[in-house]
Amino acid sequence: MSEKIKYHKMNGAGNEFIIIDNSEIGFAYTPDIVASICSNSPDTSCDQLITIQKRVGQCLDLNIWNKDGSKAEACGNASRCVAKLFFDETGLAHVELRSKNCIHLCKRMDNGGVIVNMGKANTERKNIPISIDVDDTLNFNYNFEFKDLEVVKYTSVINVGNPHIIFWFDSINSIKPEVIGPLVENHKIFPEKINVSFAEIVDRNNVKLAVWERGAGITKACGTAACATAYSAMKLGLASNNLNISLPGGILEINIDPEGNIHKTGPVELEYSSSITMEENR
């Protein structure tokens, strides 16, 4: 059985998404179908596929698929893109987005942008998770025995809806995320794999970041990585609670409020809308 399905191609700071409202169609996506959509056509090439599974008023339930067909628990840039679509379609200014592990509260800004309350970071070992005993996840002392990590100054492991490891360097200019990223992502101490960030402090309010995303590889931006990096920087005393995170695709602005909630904003773009015909086995 074939279905012609409308999609929106969007990006948040260069982080690319295909967004599909599946709330009425109920198409049965599988890892193979997702991987084919994300990788086999230039029109639908993306880092992640986002399906809206349910709509109730100003609350949307999402499935977040990585381009390799695996599922992700959360995606901050995708939340801004979905919220932007919702605001433009409805004229409303607030929406609650629910995914596997988290709730993102999104608000339309006066300039037409979107700010997302990403919730609080979690640093408990069992919630990241890590398979070894760890005394301190914010200053994570583990020898990965990879050459490029010999010059790491600090390492943090944090969950912000999905798991992240952040390596802090004096400079990331010579670091090759495409080499180190997959080795760390698939390391034996991370039973659910992990997103890998390479960070550099510019000053108290600015950070440079490169990211290897679990299930997606190199991306131009990663919203949850920016949030985890900002939290690590603040807790380690490297930076303030207001940070500009500079990624290859643009700048994400992160604020951590006194209660520990992480707020994120940045550029959002609707590139185009189109449709794709897909075959479904019922």
In the chain, which ranges are continuous DSSP H helix? 31-39, 76-90, 177-185, 223-235
Please give the CATH superfamily to which domain 2-118+267-279 belongs: Diaminopimelate Epimerase; Chain A, domain 1 (3.10.310.10)
Q: Which of 75, 81, 102, 227 is flagged as catalytic?
A: 75
CA distances from 242 to 123, 234, 249, 276 (A): 20, 9, 20, 41
Check: CB of residue 21 under 8 Å from CB of residue 252: no
Each residue's pLDDT tens digit in the chain (282 positions)? 678 999 999 999 999 999 999 999 999 999 999 999 999 889 999 999 999 999 999 999 999 999 999 999 999 999 999 999 999 999 999 999 999 878 999 999 999 899 999 999 999 999 999 999 998 999 998 999 888 898 899 999 999 999 999 999 999 999 999 999 999 999 999 999 999 999 999 999 999 999 999 999 999 999 999 999 999 999 999 999 999 999 999 999 999 999 999 999 999 999 999 999 987 655
- Whether 222 is catalytic is yes
Instruction: Give me the pLDDT at residue 278, please.
Output: 84
Class of domain 120-265: alpha beta
Segments of the chain assigned to CATH 3.10.310.10:
2-118+267-279, 120-265
Q: Per the structure block, which two tokens stand in for 52?
A: 């809206």
CA separation for the pair 276, 282 (Å, rounded): 18
The two beta strands, 71-72 and 154-159, are unpaired
* 42, HSE (Cβ side, Cα atoms, 13 Å): 0
- Whether 102 is catalytic is no
The two beta strands, 242-247 and 206-213, are parallel
Q: Which of 81, 102, 106, 222 is flagged as catalytic?
A: 222
pLDDT digits (tens, 9 = 90+) for 241-281: 999 999 999 999 999 999 999 999 999 999 999 999 987 65
Radius of gyration of the chain (CA): 18
